[in-house]
Structure 1
């Protein structure tokens, strides 16, 4: 656990947080919403590679879900990032990302980060671009999944952001 500010705590998610994470994802209006069951599983099976921001009452107000790629154990894939709309603009997403990557660099030797971002998601583009700049890490972008691969109707292409390695010894 680390403190992001005086009234915010960055922690590992617990299974009981699954419903709150599902609601945060649903309320984001930008994330692809997974089933509520998948958020419960995520909080159980991938808590070690994910993070939750809690307010002073312990209520989740933001999260990052991620996993270490099986074929690249030095690479964290960030799946989703969400922050409660009332909490946006406070740097919570950046604190979550910094805290999670620092933890995984120390615990698992993670030196690289990947995520996909749909074109036009400027908040995510800024979050990951500024993360790379803040940590002196190389950033590349390429289309990972073209729109035509998605079977469930119109979907934007997903652009893969690859970040790392970092020149910052306290993060990736």
Structure 2
């Protein structure tokens, strides 16, 4: 953990954090931004599988959202990872991902982490490859959703990254 990471607290979100998560996602300029309402629901319904980094006064400065897959109860699907511009370049995304995975393994007995990444998102590619390396896990990749499945215009393929096995 870096000194910059030590200044931050990583914990579960509350509903009151939903607006900040929406803003961080919107300001990222890379994520598909969901409605502000969905971030409020996410903080209510999936707080146990979401991690938020808080700065000195408690305001969210980064997050990882995820959920346990209903048909694969030992798999955590990571939905979004974002860090406020002022806090980027400090390893915060990796710290958030590690903290959430550790909690999910302990609390839910998860053995696999999944996420999707578009081919042009090299930062996410590096984040999840380094996560797998730190945890001694394999990475399997396959196209989950091809570009032709997206009804709202041009969209790159979403490549599924399956990382595991994770251990306690």
Aligned to 1:39: 39
Pairwise CA RMSD? 1.2
Tell me the SS of whatever aligns to 2:144.
strand
Q: Is the 8 A contact 2:65 2:80 kept in 1?
A: yes
Aligned to 2:146: 146
Runs of 4+ with >2 A deviation: 3-6
Distance 1:103 1:7 in 2: 20
- Give the paired residue count: 166
Instruction: Note the residue ranges of structure 1 that are not aligned, 5 or more in a row.
Output: none
Aligned to 1:132: 132
Distance 1:135 1:4 in 2: 22
* TM-score normalised by L of structure 1: 0.94
Instruction: Note the residue ranges of structure 2 that are not aligned, 5 or more in a row.
Output: none
Q: Is the 8 A contact 1:4 1:95 kept in 2?
A: no
Question: Which digits, 9 at most, give the CA deviation of each residue in 1:66-108, with x for residues without a partner?
Answer: 0000010110000000000110111110010000000010111
Question: Which digits, 9 at most, give the CA deviation of each residue in 1:38-74, with x for residues without a partner?
Answer: 0000000000000000011101000001000001011
* TM-score normalised by L of structure 2: 0.96
Aligned to 2:19: 19
Distance 1:26 1:34 in 2: 9
What is the Cα deviation at residue 4 of structure 1?
8.0
Aligned to 1:118: 118
Q: Is the 8 A contact 2:5 2:91 kept in 1?
A: no
